[in-house]
Chains A and B, each alone.
Chain A
């Protein structure tokens, strides 16, 4: 069992950090625009939780890299090809059903992920996981309850929910990919068996869809690539908004 190099540990952390950062940024787009005030607060609360997780992941990545890059440097000064988030989280918000569908697929993964990471041999990762488990349980409850109400709701909400799930279903494989780094991280006790999360994810998804009286999506196409830096056309626009200020005023010390 060989230990992870610092660079490998950094790369492992950046994957989870980028997921949280980009998804948090997407949810932030709802601020002031949600269909009702209570959901405006709910979605932005979830966004804050995710950005908080991103800060912890990227801070740890910068620290183990040991070259002086902190969370801000990693978040604000990398470009599209260097981001390692999954394709799912960079997809557009669309209507409320799309946002809920995207969140639903992500949260059902995040819960078993962080439960598993709570046993990491890396103390900082353990700490991040223990905090994120509670947040993710709440996120999963929120998105699942909405899937049920939209699915088993009006004809319009049901149709929109089906469209949304069909649109994002094909991005699921990346959540359970195990490449060489994942395998090495798992062997070193730092990481988790991502492929092993799939049964738990599927069970939760199917149970909620059944309660929502929704069919399992029949979409067969699958796309991966975000974790290798091969992103959809959306990430560039997200980063342009996220990074503009820091790139336009690099010498600014205080905001």
Chain B
């Protein structure tokens, strides 16, 4: 039968419109990349969610360890010079 070994898990990313980021929307099982794209189209683009699909084998996703959170992210909390907050933005400028 179709074991987990034969139908690997794929992470699915959908790009809503050209130029925007591909967003992670979920995962599904498929025997290969072409079927994964087809399945992603069926499962994740039912309501016009996007125009482009990326599929990545879940085993190719490498994530940071939750226990490393303190070491990786806390040191940037007190470095205010990294944030562009010292400029006076003119009133008419909407998006900076």
Contact = CB atoms under 8 A, between A and B. Distances in A.
Interface of A: 35-38, 41-42, 45, 138, 141-142, 145, 149
B43 A41 contact: yes
Main SS of the interface on chain A?
helix
Contact of B35 (A37, A45, A145): A145
Contact of B42 (A35, A45, A145, A149): A45
Contacts of B30: 38
A38 B34 contact: no
Given A36-B7, A36-B29, A149-B31, A42 B38 contact: yes
Contacts of B42: 38, 41-42, 45
Interface residues on B, range: 10 to 19
Contacts of A35: 2
Contacts, number: 28
B28 to A, nearest CB: 6
A35 B31 CA distance: 13
A57 B7 CA distance: 39
B15 interface: no
A38 B31 contact: no
A36 B39 CA distance: 11
A149 B33 CA distance: 13
Interface in B4-35: 7, 28-32, 34-35
A38 B44 CA distance: 11
A50 to B, nearest CB: 15
A145 B43 contact: no
